[in-house]
Structure 1
Amino acid sequence: MSTVLLPAEGGGTRAYTPREAPRPTRAAPRPTGGGSPLTSRTVFSAAHVVADPYADVPPEGPAAVDWDATLAFRRHLWSHGLGVAEAMDTAQRGMGLDWAGAAELIRRSAAEAKAVGGRIACGVGTDQLTAPADLLTVRTAYEEQLELVESCDAQPILMASRALSAAAASPDDYLETYGHLLRQATEPVILHWLGPMFDPALEGYWGSADLDAATDTFLQVIAAHPDKVDGIKVSLLDADREIALRRRLPRGVRCYTGDDFHYPELIAGDDHGFSHALLGIFDPLGPLAADAVRILDTGDVKGFRELLDPTVALSRHLFRTPTRYYKTGVVLLAWLAGHQSHFTMVGGLQSARSLPHLARAYELADGLGLFPDPALAAARMRSLLTVHGVPQ
């Protein structure tokens, strides 16, 4: 295969030779979705949305979504046995996708999950609020979204709320708000602690910038309602803190890692337990991640690590500071892999990362064999580079 000229550090270009063939998959996907389940861990991929490239909308306007391509990508994840975490920050929730768009996404994806037998959990937040709100208004907004998700027969994920972060004056405000919502929930939910590296507006969540104090409040919420909490998703990019937290969980409450820097070791676990997974990086890693967990299902921790550990370099690159823009690299890789026909994002977020950053993401992903058709990925990467002034 001919080389791709990538931007070189310090200027100019460097030649990269793409691999000839993709990485072989361990288990063939099921074309209709609902692939054979993973048994040793519960694994969700937070999934991106595909924009409609023909829509004439401004960056600040409502999202225009290509529903066919968006649902096709979810079927791709389900076909490998992964669950889908829907309408999370990976779907540009609060970064281009407003509540009206998220609600429609939840309805459509939940219906598709039911049709193909795929597992789905959906984000519940307060992003319909566009102005500062008091605690009662925040709680009502949460209830509206919770009702929608439950009406679609999807598992709720109670997401961290910018509005609650702004309205809460103390840890007690979090305890009261979450306690009320958990009492309202008809089935166990997943609680989501999203760190400020993903959303700066969430600094000091749970009532304190001291993470030890915040953890204590978080655990109080769970301890008061263990029957209503299926698990927690922790996105703090701090492996030691996650391990310490999961060891303090009540029996039966899962820890779903959201740590896109340390996920292999956290999922593999130790003598005291392990984390399940709810990860944005499993959007581009879907088939590989499923293969790795199937190896783990056999008890082969070493084989699991040997397959998944090499992916961390790509993940750390995509999630580098400012971390919230990781979605740009995720969508780039979906385009290069042939899951969508374009590299356009809602809100124009395709411009959020530099060309060298995108080129390195391509190189790392190709090295892992993530692209089903390496020649297609190379051709698309050459076209992107050419448009941006890097001659091929």
Structure 2
Amino acid sequence: MPRRKGREPVIRLPDVSGTLRAYRPRTDPVVPGPSGAPLTSRTVFSAAHVVSDPFADSTPDGPAAVDWDATLAFRRHLWSHGLGVAEAMDTAQRGMGLDWPGAAELIRRSAAEARAAGGAIACGAGTDQLTGPATLPEVRAAYEEQLALVEDSGAQPVLMASRALAAAARGPQDYLEVYGHLLRQASRPVILHWLGPMFDPALTGYWGSEDLDAATATFLEIISEHPGKVDGVKVSLLDAEREVRLRRRLPPPVRCYTGDDFHYPGLIAGDEHGFSHALLGIFDPLGPLAAEAVRVLDTGDTAGFRALLDPTVPLSRHLFEPPTRYYKTGVVLLAWLAGHQDHFTMAGGLQSARSLPHLARAYELADRLGLFPDPALAESRMTHLLALYGVTR
């Protein structure tokens, strides 16, 4: 709808009670600082989403149709700000719309793009080509296939948590054997991925126990038995105290990459005993701001880092609220509103996985942070989305 000259826009946003309330969007973006300098004090990966092809004749249970130009352009956007890209992870809808053939193509294309751009990239290797019950040898073979593809692409491997292994394993010993077998084969240090059941209920009891202390002991045993094979661990349990206790027990030089989208500012800032690096889905929409915050931290200004990043936590907590696995919907919404893609369409139809009040709140929180390079474009697109649901000005 055209904006009347001399009047600031006001749109009506629905809340969880179904009530429409007036919201006045900001008119100026927050312009990040210069993006040329590399990040030095922390290693930071953004787990990036994929952009679907809205014109493909696809179905929710069929292969994902990917808009490769827009998908790779978004990765160049992240690299331009000094962030690494964590590719083909759960943010890219692995196991939720993106199957293994699609993920394999994504890894090959993104790794080639990373070489051209000089960007850091780590790629997920899992077992999602297994579509039914599997034996442990089949799980190992599936991991081997994906690990080989990631290594052949030139990317750093991330050994992702496996639904098939969680279903097949009888106890901790099976995890020790499978991961030990893979680490002995790996040609370069890998990142181990511990994804909690809030992100994927099929991973309940990973590492052989629902008791997190027992699971941690098995996790640490795998690391200690294979020195030089583990670059770091990505921990996505949304439990800051547990992450801190774990990272203090990691043998040097193994890093802790926080995947905690609720407590990341404090975990990255660290304490007198150490800090976490980052591999985060929330850094998809926060890319430029997150990079600027880490550059401030690079100067030793922890307070300045927290002043930039702490205000983003309410948005992250909102996007990752239960059921947490649907956080991708909010991430893609914000990419559309920010102008990184021309549509709000997702693999598997997941654009419908969150309610209109949830999406409206995500827009409001992101707008207040100044995340949209063109606030008028974001306001216009949000207005069109609201109209599709029957909301008019």
Normalising by structure 2, report the TM-score: 0.98
Match in the other structure for 2:64? 63
Could you tell me which runs of 5 or more consecutive residues in structure 2 were left unpaired when the two chains were aligned: 1-7
The one of 10, 13, 33 equivalent to 1:3 is 10
Question: Gaps spanning 5+ residues in structure 1: where?
Answer: 29-34
Counterpart position of 1:190: 191
Partner of 1:26: 33
Give the aligned partner of residue 208 of structure 1.
Answer: 209
Q: Aligned residue for 1:32? A: none
Q: Distance in 2 between matches of 1:85 and 1:93?
A: 12
Q: Is the 8 A contact 1:226 1:253 kept in 2?
A: no
Matched ranges for 1:289-328 at <5 A: 289-328=290-329
- Could you tell me how far 1:24 is from its partner in structure 2? 1.8
Residue 233 of structure 1 aligns to a residue whose secondary structure is strand
Superposed displacement of residue 42, structure 1: 0.1
**Counterpart residue number, 2:119:** 118
Q: Which amino acid aligns with 1:59?
A: P
Aligned AA (2:21): R
| Cα deviation digits, residues 25-58 of structure 1 (max 9, x gap) | 1114xxxxxx532000000000000000000111
Q: Match of 1:31?
A: none
Task: Give the match for residue 232 of structure 1.
Answer: 233
Distance 1:246 1:8 in 2: 39
Q: CA deviation at 1:180?
A: 0.4
TM-score by length of 1: 0.98
Shift of 1:20: 1.1
Identity %: 78
Aligned to 2:3: none
Alpha-carbon offset, residue 12 of structure 1: 3.3
Aligned to 1:375: 376
Q: Secondary structure at the match of 2:173?
A: helix
One-letter code aligned to 2:86: A
Which runs of structure 2 are paired with 1:84-99 in the superposition (5 Å)?
Answer: 84-99=85-100
Q: Which residue of 1 aligns with 2:21?
A: 14
Residues 1:9 and 1:133: Cα distance change in structure 2 (over 3 Å): closer
Structure-to-structure mapping, 1:34-73, within 5 angstroms:
35-73=36-74
- Aligned-pair CA distance for 1:8: 3.6
**Could you tell me how far apart the structure 2 residues matched to 1:345 and 1:10 are?**
27
Q: Per-residue deviation at 1:9? A: 4.5
Distance 1:226 1:294 in 2: 31
Q: Tell me, yes or no, if the aligned pair for 1:126 and 1:141 is still in contact at 8 Å.
A: yes
Measured after TM superposition, the shift of residue 283 of structure 1 is: 0.1
Change (3 A) 1:8 1:199: closer
The one-letter code matched in structure 1 to 2:378 is A
Shift of 1:186: 0.1
What value does the CA root-mean-square deviation take over the aligned residues?
Answer: 0.7
8 Å CA contact 1:231–1:253 kept in 2: the answer is yes
Q: 2 CA distance for matches of 1:149 and 1:318?
A: 29
Distance across 1 between alignment mates of 2:193 and 2:20: 42
Cα deviation 1:182-216 (Å, max 9, x = unaligned): 00000000000000000000000000000000000
Residue 10 of structure 1: CA displacement? 2.8
Distance (whole Å) between structure 2 residues aligned to residue 351 and residue 36 of structure 1 = 39
Matches of 2:18 and 2:98, distance apart in 1: 36
Q: CA deviation at 1:358?
A: 0.1
Contact 2:189 2:228 in 1 (8 A): yes
Amino acid across the alignment from 1:86 = E
